[in-house]
Amino acid sequence: MPVVTALLAGLLFGVGLIVSGMADPSKVLGFLDLAGAWDPSLAFVMVGAIAVGLVAFAIAGKRTLSFIGQDMKLPSARHVDIRLVGGSLLFGIGWGIAGFCPGPALVALGMGQAKAVVFVVAMLLGMGIFELAERATRHPARKD
């Protein structure tokens, strides 16, 4: 059951990205281009998504099990550190270069765009570098 609901959530999320214009890197860059001809559309994406999200997360926060009996796994971290800020800055630079963040890149991959394939492969490589660095720092003595 959680696999089916995950598939449907991903599908709906992706359709939302297409409808909103976020799956189009040029539109994203038009939003990030404050100094040029600015397209404020994507602020409306955030407003629409957060309006619904506020209600949903208020309900979710009061529950220990989901409506289909899954454990609620909401993040509990509260600290702001260099990883959070530094990582987010790097992400923002990458976002500003190509106009792709992870979700829209996966949707564009599904449209069969060769450039999206290249971006997604590089993104997975970046995530892999993070995993290797994490393993190296957390288990310096482990030889695997």
User: Does the footprint of other proteins cover residue 111 (CB under 8 A)?
Assistant: yes
Q: Does residue 140 bind other proteins (CB under 8 A)?
A: no
The yes or no reply on residue 110 touching other proteins (CB under 8 A) is yes
* Smallest separation (angstroms) from other proteins to the CB of 138: 12
- Please give the C-alpha separations between residue 113 and each of 13, 26, 30, 48, in angstroms, as whole numbers: 19, 14, 20, 28
> Distance (Å, rounded) from C-alpha 132 to C-alpha 10?
27
Rounded to whole angstroms, the Cα distance separating 36 from 33 reads 5
CB of residue 64 vs other proteins: minimum separation in angstroms? 9
- Using CA atoms, how far apart are residues 122 and 115, in angstroms rounded to an integer? 11
CB of 137: closest distance to other proteins in angstroms? 12
Q: What part of residues 7-66 is at the interface with other proteins (CB under 8 A)?
A: 7-27, 29-30, 32-42, 44-57, 59-61, 65-66
136 touches other proteins (CB under 8 A):
no
| Best CA proximity match to 19, nearest among 54, 56, 44 | 44
Of residues 72 through 101, those in contact with other proteins by CB under 8 A are 72-75, 77-80, 83-101
Q: Which is nearer to other proteins, 81 or 140 (CB)?
A: 81
Query: What's the min distance (Å) between Cβ of 140 and other proteins?
Result: 18
CB of 36 or CB of 140, closer to other proteins: 36
Element (H, E) at 135: helix 114-138
Burial 6-34 (b: 16+ CB within 10 A, else e): eeeeeeeebebbeebbbbbbebbbbbbee
